[in-house]
A and B are shown apart, each in its own frame.
Chain A
Amino acid sequence: MKAIIRATSIAKEYPLGASQNSYVTLRESLSAAVRSPLKRFKANQPAETIMALRDVSFEVSSGEVVGIIGRNGAGKSTLLKVLSRITEPSSGRIELYGRIASLLEVGTGFHPELSGRENIYLNGAILGMTRAEIRQKFEEIIAFSEIEKFIDTPVKRYSSGMYLRLAFAVAAHLDPEILLVDEVLAVGDASFQRKCLDKMEDVTQAGRTVIFVSHNMPAITRICPRTILLEAGTVAFDGSSPEAVRRYLGSGMGTNAFREWKNIDDAPGNEIVRLCSIRVRTEDGQVCESIDIRSPVGLDMEFEVLEAGRVLVPNYYFINQEGVCAFGASEHDPEWRRRPRPTGRYLSTAWIPGNFLSEGTLIVSAAISTMDPVIIHFFERDIVAFQIIDSLDGNSARGDYAGPMPGIVRPMLTWTSQFTPSNSSPKLGGSTI
């Protein structure tokens, strides 16, 4: 099949710290020039840079639907930005054999003061539709968004749900040959997400070429036959989606249950706190990927506080294979509750009781936050994973039933039973025989 995207060894280099302090003032430039006047004449000055992408090559055939996964900072967003021409690659070449539209966010360019109708035109034009195209699809867009009544109301009076529906409705009616989609599905309520996913599937069935970046592993395996796994800016795997997801969850230390950052500067976090390691373990301290449903599961989070004086709350989110968040949990050790932490290394352990979770894989995301004011120091998705195994010997909540059991939790309930025998005149029968 004919290639519609051909990317040849693309690389993207950012000056280090470009994300913070991104702009300079004239004074800084001048003082830098005064301090080292010869700097600009020195050839090949080893400037501090970070390679967000290096030697990334791939081809996408017309009509293919390709997923892109990877950890935070692996280069997914950079790749999308390069493909959609928002930023230039530092080297390499990309050939596009079709009209491209990127959907890096829903509602780009929406103006709160304008009405829904006006925003449809504005947003459509920004996403690359012509006026005639928008006019032609206008009724369809309004119908899809389900906000006919409010179409002439300024969008600043919309609820966040209405706003999202309208924004997605415009995006869903884009008609390019290549569509780049970034995690737009991560927003909105469950029913809206389902609607978006359905629309995505429609789009893929229409023979459109789609590149889909997501953290939602079930969505990736459902929509994309092929997935590219990015690791530290390079293509670590390019092939079938289930295999890519397996490798993604398994990347790190060979086990899904343990991850560690040896160099604190690369670790998730900021100047206040950095993550050192996360491990899933059993009660006797063994790192373990598969845990019996009846045993408690321990999650160790090791972190280093670099700047004293803040209340820090480690927390976890547990997501199952279907992408459903089973629950979230914050540390509530009374010793550190509402108490600023001195610098040093901490080990915080959460215990999930035995006989609580249902069997299956759980993917853990970890974060450390401050509540007042809310600061998220880091939020690492899909950091470790483990499996709960329900042995079939009858001692768990499933009893002797061996079939598939639905549900996110499988607690051992306290069952009591009362017995009343039939024919409640017992003495009589006994005596007659």
Chain B
Amino acid sequence: MTAMQPAVGASTSSDMTINLGPQHPSTHGVLRLMVALDGEYVKSCRPVIGYLHRGLERMMAARPYRQSVPFTDRLDYCASLNSNLAISQAIERIGGMAVPERAQYLRVMLCEMNRIASHLIFFGTYAADIGATTAFLYAFRERERLLDLLEAYTGARLTYNWIRPGGVASDMPEGYAQAVCAFLDGFLKELDAYDTLLTKNPIFRVRTEGVGIISPEKAIAHGASGPVLRGSGVNIDLRRTEPYDAYPRMQFDVPVRTEGDCLARYLVRVEEMRQSARIIRQCLREMPEGEHWGKQPKVFRPAAGEAYSRTESPRGELSIYLVSDGTANPVRVRVRGPSFVHLSMLHELVRGVKVADMIAILGSLDTVLGEVDR
């Protein structure tokens, strides 16, 4: 490069540094991006996180194991049940608890319902990031119906604290299966319409196709997971590769796209909603009778050791690692959130793109700051 062309990332007097956030319409939470712009082009971007850091890991480590479940609600607040599942599994593994079969089905059903709710948020906010405001409201209408259903079962709309070590807090209310089926019938029809609104829109396509391409090698080396990894053509879904709970008995497809661009990640998530609906129906159909709650010790003191769970949250691999020293409180609770890892890729993806593309790429990673900052 000559002296007239400064290297990418090098700062010149024509650069403009913008702080995108922590208050900005499209950072989806309190994320701050320090962006150096050359006109419309992004020269460098440094995410600044931690605005939502509450020390959840330390707080969980300061209490008995089973009291840490409510904290996980505050990790990925768009999909609390999936976080509940991750911590419950880790605690069950370290304490050697068994989960009754019916509870396993109930868990899978709840997690998939939450996955749909979470992907609907993605669908809506992504459309808003690209500039289409109407899809946002449609997505939230469906999510509202879903949250009503979850509220009818768990009593909460966002922080459920419902999947607990040993099972789920209680069995389904009467007539719940019919209500869920009725919702799914309507939802799948609506989803096709919403999908058409965006997917068949040429402007949406030119904004997302070929933008923010992540190669499969790069996705793996950066530890990407979930739809980001599958959008890059890597067929890894922990519900398949390391199945847990009732997932081994479920028939579903893992959507994979090879393009690796924003559109691929979007399409993977939309297809996952359909597959989630399929899994929920199977759960309701095949759910055995029985207990929703396994036998549990009164005082929970697992032997010294370590255990971890790996679960497929809507955003990717959510894994929780527990270290026990034989006392009632864990030594360390470690939460590995997918959003944290995806956000760490952002600065490489946005280098040299335009501002609008940066927003599109950030949106397609679908980060939740509660999980990033913990």
**A, B assembled together:** no
Interfacial residues, chain B to chain A (CB-CB below 8 A)? none
Binding site for B on A (CB under 8 A): none
